[in-house]
Amino acid sequence: MGKFLQVVDLGQKDYKETWDLQESLFQNILQIKSTNRKNDLAETTPNYFLFVEHPHVYTLGKSGHIENLLISEERLKTINAKFYKINRGGDITYHGPGQIVGYPILDLENFFTDIHKYLRFLEEMIIRTLAEYGLKAERSNGETGVWLDVGTPFARKICALGVRASRWVTMHGFALNVNTDLGYFDNMIPCGIKGKAVTSLNVELGKTEISVDDVKEKLLKHFLILFEAEVQSTEVIHTEQIPNLFL
């Protein structure tokens, strides 16, 4: 099976531009699968892993509630943030500088056909990565994502997850707070869960800044182990433009 991964680091990229790129890659995989079915072919479908850092943006999943965004459109402009309703699962979340966002765009038929297992593997990737920094991260019953001090009054979320899947092809993904300005979370009810705090890796470690590249390297390492995948190319592509070679 095609357990090969094309890894693309987009640097800092506008949310909408990245969403459009995801959709293009997603639709391309679906088209290959459709052609295979209609013509009894066996063309291998590609798998992608996009790393990106977004400028300030709030996104609302299809099952979310607009009331969980606590500021007006005018106020969004004053804090230089954007807002989008999007087609992933989950409620509202925030993306911004200092946060690692990962978008695995996979044909799960190359790996396993189980969305629940897919989400748990993404969580496990984060948990194993944070363990390398001495943090005991966990899942919280009924709340997708990765948390610290679950089951205590000090429970706090460090990574949000929200995905979309169609015909076993995935898009969207995870957002891990590394050096994130946590003040932006005050403008929303994170993931629609009241009374729960958020945190970041640098806050937990008591450091001004953590190397984002080091965290990405660890995330990718654990992803490859969990999914038994290989990077198709050893080069991670850094670009300020949408990489047309993937379209």
Q: Tell me the pLDDT tens digit for each residue of 205-240.
A: 999 999 999 999 999 999 999 999 999 864 444 444
Q: Let me know if 191 is a catalytic residue.
A: yes
Q: How confident is the model at residue 1 (pLDDT cuts 50, 70, 90)?
A: low
54 annotated binding-site participant: no
64 annotated binding-site participant: no
Catalytic residue (one of 171, 191, 210, 212): 191
pLDDT recorded at residue 98: 97
Q: Tell me the pLDDT tens digit for each residue of 61-106.
A: 887 888 889 998 889 999 999 999 988 877 888 999 999 999 999 9
Domains, the chain, ranges and CATH? Answer: 4-246 (3.30.930.10)
Q: Which tokens go with 79?
A: 């804090």
Q: Tell me the pLDDT tens digit for each residue of 151-161.
A: 999 999 999 99
Q: How confident is the model at residue 192 (pLDDT cuts 50, 70, 90)?
A: low
DSSP 188: B
pLDDT exceeds cutoff 60 at 18: yes
pLDDT recorded at residue 188: 87
3-state secondary structure of 156: strand
15 annotated binding-site participant: no
Largest Cα–Cα separation, the chain: 57
Q: Which residues of 67-87 are buried (b: 16+ CB within 10 A; e: fewer)?
A: ebbeeeeeebeeeebbbeebe
pLDDT exceeds cutoff 70 at 30: yes
121 annotated binding-site participant: no
Please name the helix (run of DSSP H) or strand (run of DSSP E) that holds residue 247, with its range, or none.
Answer: none
User: 3-state SS of 7-33?
Assistant: EEEEEECCHHHHHHHHHHHHHHHHHHH
